Structure 1
């Protein structure tokens, strides 16, 4: 499979990062604020995301309108191409084979909803246009089977095949996915998972909790906590976080119960790659990741999901990762999914991502914006009026259009030392006078030198700079000639 080499691209980006200029000006509508031009902000953003991989990642997160998704039905001629590919490599009978237990316990999961969840994201099971084109079907099938291995752990029955009382059909554990649509012990109407709600921080400013709602685990990936519901809602509803924050039950009772898992599958969480890009090898591990044992294979998808408590030597025999690996190996064998020589099914030999320090690595790309706190002596107060890419989660993603501008303009609300910023299309700066003798604010004048302002000549009484002659009184540095 082809790979995109990041290092050479990053070297090019390091030069581009300084190819823009910021020229913030006092805001005429706000005595304590500043204005910046949208053109300058776009240049600042583009310079930091010039690496082609950012476009690849953003492309993977593109979505279709819900009006198209809601019309998807099995075998419909109007179905999008990636949905038709799924119907070919994983038809209804295969869905039924892996969800026999789910039919009784969680009927909210259906094949139609599965197709709609995939139809929302054209990149999942999409057509590759490079030298992986001929492998599009194989990558699609491997992606689905990988997802089901994790479904079997996250929402599976975990009932032994020999336990015929609870498992009368004698199903393998890897056939027992999707039997929970809500986290065990929780039901609609219960408040919960509201840790942090109401705090004065960036998460609550962007994704405010709704009164009386519970953000416990729902759906195939058990989406939890208000910040995840808010971020997912923005993807599903054209940037509107309030839909799922106000009605989180939709993640259980509609095709969002599977779409939430596909979204997670496609979303990189800096510095962790998207699971799809581990499988299709769009991602190339950095040297530090390689040194930490992180490479291709199912094991790295475990690290992406839950590496902090499932990966590393200390978790080698722990139940969760052992289950995931068993389910993956059972599914891969049943569906004849090849495991390449450089792929590892396990992650006990890997350093968990949460313990891996990638700061400063030149072959790693980050996906979240945070305020740039570096001093800029040429700008008001030394403030940068910019955001920069960081290796931790923030409210602003480099893969979401408009988030860079939100980072710059919203930052003052949560950081006392950050000025209020308003974006304008264009800043009209005063033009320099054309009269060679005209007074200039930035010029130093010594005693005896003369200037002209609005046709009146003034003479400097002493050294001066920046003092408007028209405003100079009898004690000022200027006198009329």
Structure 2
């Protein structure tokens, strides 16, 4: 039984966007803080992630326990079904054919284990799509990118360095570590040690280097941390403390499969471009982004390799040559609406999708919209955004962490605690002051929403819980409004 690394409870959710009501209350344990019900938080999260695509992402990022993965060996009857499919469409002999220059750290067994970690890769489609064909196309696509990222790039007629006259698309996985780097070197520590949310969530370990490792050349602590969380049950410290494991174990290929399956919204997951689960938004279509290998280039490195000005650049030209060579060799059909190139596409980093109603996002950030019926006018909610934040909509518990601002990523946020039950507070307007203000308002008295006071003959009503706010100085955005 594999576990889901994301919110599987979203399946079938049909809550409307405003079908919940946040009701923050004063925190009895913190005079400057508030509590919100966990049920309200869960309802808000479900409402914001009700689109069926969130459930699809959840399924795509489900993982097998490492104990299951590390028992995988070629040909075993006990191998997971997706591994058996991978063996059927891409055998050991095919692996050997494409890896004759590969570093010894890359093996067919490790390749199968990397696939086995993620049941959606080479998984079963029950809606009529050809599961074997999608599996084969996924593997070939991955190898085209491997050939660029970690390939030998040696000309076929260079008999000195390429005595077997291998095609460049047969030269994948030559490098397991970034050229010029070795274990024990400290490097790629940009941003390490800063007082920011990235270091609170994914703190760098002293003496470690986060340079490129593995088939996808995983780099920087803010990528090692999230990958570690997926591989080790939410524990970012495993690979932050020991990044060398990404080079020396089956993680060297699993890191690439993880990237292949993970959407970086608004960019889709590469798998969903290949299997057509993803449907491009109108703005993406207008920007030339659609189906085909070219869009996978845009997902990986669009800012450097896509757009008219990069049409003849080495990196994308190489990727396309490798893809076309592999696709021809493995007889991968290219559909009429697919493009191998991305020079005609706007790079994702230059595409403004903010506010588009047909684009989904996967990161949470504090929602600063004004709510007159809530303390201080704050929303006490988080919203989905198109940039990386401390909190992912694909990680269980991250919405609650965003609400409570656990990594201190949104300054000025209310002090919030999530509770299962709000303890009742004494009477509507307890007034411990024996000498209240003769005008009817007392600075030491807490007032709830709807409470009224009279000051100098004018009646004011509280818009939300307040204490110490003079009604006469409240102003349009303050907690009091005139009613008579």
Classify the TM-score, shorter chain: 0.7 to 0.9
Match of 1:118 among 115, 118, 129: 115
Q: Displacement, 1:463?
A: 7.3
Is the 1:412–1:420 contact (alpha carbons within 8 Å) kept by the matching residues of 2? Answer: no
The residue aligned with 2:49 is: 49
Report the CA distance shift for 1:164/1:344 in structure 2 as closer, same or farther (over 3 A).
same
Match of 1:202 among 197, 203, 215: 197
1:353 to 348, 371, 382: 348
* Deviation for aligned residue 1:30: 1.8
Which residue is 1:129 aligned to?
Answer: 126
What is the aligned counterpart of 1:417 among 376, 388, 412? Answer: 412
Question: Which residue among 371, 384, 387 is the counterpart of 1:389?
Answer: 384
Change (3 A) 1:175 1:432: same
Q: Does 1:312 align with 2:307?
A: yes
Matched, 1:158 2:149: no
Aligned to 1:34: 34
Q: 1:250 aligns with which of 238, 245, 250?
A: 245
SS at match of 1:408: helix
State yes or no: 1:58 paired with 2:58: yes
Task: Trace 1:84-233 onto structure 2 (pairs within 5 A).
Answer: 84-102=84-102, 106-132=103-129, 135-233=130-228
Task: Assess if the C-alpha contact under 8 Å between 2:297 and 2:306 holds in 1.
Answer: yes
Give the whole-Å Cα distance in 2 for the aligned partners of 1:256 and 1:293. Answer: 34
SS of equivalent to 2:161:
coil
For residue 30 of structure 2, give the secondary structure of its aligned residue in structure 1. coil
2-structure distance, mates of 1:155, 1:120:
22
Question: How big is the shift at 1:388?
Answer: 0.2
Considering fraction of residues, name the structure with more helix.
1
Counterparts of 2:171 and 2:61, CA distance in 1: 29
Distance in 1 separating the partners of 2:157 and 2:26: 74
CA contact (8 A) 1:367 1:390 kept: yes
Task: After TM superposition, list the pairs within 5 Å mapping 1:279-318 onto structure 2.
Answer: 279-318=274-313
Closer/same/farther in 2, CA of residues 206 and 381 from structure 1, 3 Å limit: same
110-119 or 197-206: which moved more?
Answer: 197-206
Check 1:244–1:358 CA distance in 2 against 1; reply closer, same or farther (3 A cut): same
CA contact (8 A) 2:197 2:407 kept: no
Runs of 5+ unmatched residues, structure 2: 1-12, 429-446, 463-484
Superposition deviation, residue 383 in structure 1: 1.3
Give me the whole-angstrom Cα distance separating, in 2, the residues matched to 1:228 and 1:444.
Answer: 53
Q: 1:423, CA displacement in angstroms?
A: 1.1
Contact 1:371 / 1:411 at 8 angstroms: preserved in 2?
no
Aligned 8 A contact 1:271 1:365 in 2: yes
* TM-score, normalised relative to structure 2: 0.86
Q: Could you tell me whether the CA contact under 8 Å between 2:366 and 2:410 is conserved in 1?
A: no
State the distance in 2 between where 1:406 and 1:162 align.
57
Tell which deviates more after alignment, 410-419 or 171-180: 410-419
- Cα 1:74–1:24 change in 2 (3 A) is same
C-alpha contact 2:114 2:253 (8 A) present in aligned 1: yes
- CA distance, structure 2, for counterparts of residue 38 and residue 337 of structure 1: 49
Taking a change above 3 Å as real, the CA distance of residues 344 and 462 of structure 1, as seen in their structure-2 partners, is closer
What TM-score, normalized by structure 1, do the two folds share? 0.86
Give the superposed CA RMSD.
2.1
Residue 431 of structure 2 is matched in structure 1 by none
Q: Is the Cα–Cα contact under 8 Å of residues 390 and 407 in structure 2 kept in the other structure?
A: no
2:15–2:46 CA contact under 8 A, matched in 1 = no
Partner SS, residue 33 of structure 1: strand
